[in-house]
């Protein structure tokens, strides 16, 4: 089965409301394509103006995080129905910056994944190893553990709709990209792990993205790999280059 590519931007903590809308307007004509899905995961405060700005275009808006409770005394957090009520479709969960700076764990990622599905949101579940872990030769063991915990109690129907993003930490924002072989090897390892959990038919449907210094010059090679179904793009999604990545062929 041919999986439809997804090219998703992660703006991180960049863009005021005005700058966000201006960038969306600049990107709209550049990211037009029939071939792939296109999403921009924007800061929470920018979601509403961005959802408005992408009306009648092929861009979908995503969030960068979400809490796993419905509501209540969780100062500073965003509830799932706050996202769905704005028209958000995707939510990045377990990004390495959230794991590294904000103490997110595999267990909290799993709670968020379950809650996202409960609300009809598509989670973009991030996993990835540090340089030290890669040098220790434990990359695949670690990624398999991250995937197995993140998908705990997720049924096959929901699992099919999940998006996984393999993002080696040493490649994020560094300008160092994993080689196509390294990226493909881990993305295939993720698919094999998902096949162990859900069977190969389900695993073949799940989109697995690569993220880590994706650029206009390396996107085509990366996205041509058999287990790489698009990209999660940080820095390059903040400029017109994102259009070249979306139209990578």
Active site residue ranges:
95, 167
Among 167, 227, 229, 241, the residue binding ligand PEP under the rule CB under 6 A is 167
Determine, following the binding rule CB under 6 A, whether residue 213 of this chain makes contact with ligand PEP. yes
Between CA 207 and CA 223 the distance in angstroms is 12
Between CA 228 and CA 208 the distance in angstroms is 6
Task: Compare residues 204 and 221 and give the one whose CB is closer to ligand PEP.
Answer: 221
Among 94, 123, 128, 211, the residue binding ligand PEP under the rule CB under 6 A is 211
Give the angle 177-179-184 at the CA atoms, nearest 5°: 115
Stretch that binds ligand PEP, among 30-38, 114-122, 139-147, 210-218 (CB under 6 A): 210-218
Q: What residues from 221 to 240 belong to the interface with ligand PEP (CB under 6 A)?
A: 232-236
* Pairing mode of beta strands 5-10, 36-41: parallel
CB of 232 to ligand PEP, least distance (A): 5
Interaction pattern, residues 5-24, with ligand PEP; x per rule: CB under 6 A: -----x--------------
Between CA 36 and CA 27 the distance in angstroms is 15
CB of 167 to ligand PEP, least distance (A): 5
Among 23, 88, 154, 214, the residue binding ligand PEP under the rule CB under 6 A is 214
CB of 34 to ligand PEP, least distance (A): 25
CB of 13 to ligand PEP, least distance (A): 11
Give the angle 37-39-44 at the CA atoms, nearest 5°: 160
Task: Compare residues 182 and 197 and give the one whose CB is closer to ligand PEP.
Answer: 182
Cβ-proximal residues to 210 (8 Å cutoff; 6+ apart), any chain = 165, 166, 167, 178, 183, 187, 222, 223, 225, 228, 230, 231, 232
Stretch that binds ligand PEP, among 77-85, 100-108, 144-152, 212-220 (CB under 6 A): 212-220
Point out the residue whose Cβ comes nearest to ligand PEP.
234
Task: Compare residues 227 and 241 and give the one whose CB is closer to ligand PEP.
Answer: 241
Interacting residue ranges for ligand PEP, rule: CB under 6 A: 10, 167, 172-173, 211-214, 232-236
């Amino acid at each position: 089965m041919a999986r439809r590519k997804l090219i998703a931007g992660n703006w991180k903590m960049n863009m005021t409301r005005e700058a966000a809308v201006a960038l969306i307007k600049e990107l709209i004509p550049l990211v037009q394509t029939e071939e792939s899905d296109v999403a921009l995961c924007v800061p929470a405060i920018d979601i509403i103006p961005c959802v408005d700005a992408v009306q009648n275009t092929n861009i979908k808006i995503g969030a960068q995080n979400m809490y796993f409770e419905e509501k209540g005394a969780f100062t500073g957090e965003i509830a799932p129905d706050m996202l769905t009520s704005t028209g958000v479709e995707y939510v990045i969960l377990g990004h390495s910056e959230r794991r590294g700076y904000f103490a997110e764990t595999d267990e909290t990622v799993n709670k968020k994944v379950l809650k996202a599905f409960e609300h009809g949101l598509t989670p973009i579940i991030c996993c990835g190893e540090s340089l030290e872990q890669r040098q220790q030769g434990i990359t695949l063991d670690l990624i398999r553990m991250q995937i197995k915990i993140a998908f705990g109690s997720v049924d096959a129907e929901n699992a099919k709709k999940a998006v996984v993003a393999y993002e080696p930490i040493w490649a994020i924002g560094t300008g160092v990209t994993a080689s196509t072989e390294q990226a493909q090897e881990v993305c295939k390892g993720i698919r094999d792990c998902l096949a162990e959990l859900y069977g190969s038919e389900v695993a073949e449907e799940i989109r697995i993205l690569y993220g880590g210094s994706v650029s206009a010059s390396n996107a085509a090679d990366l996205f041509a790999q058999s287990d790489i179904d698009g990209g999660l793009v940080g820095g390059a999604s903040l400029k017109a280059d994102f259009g070249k990545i979306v139209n990578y062929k």
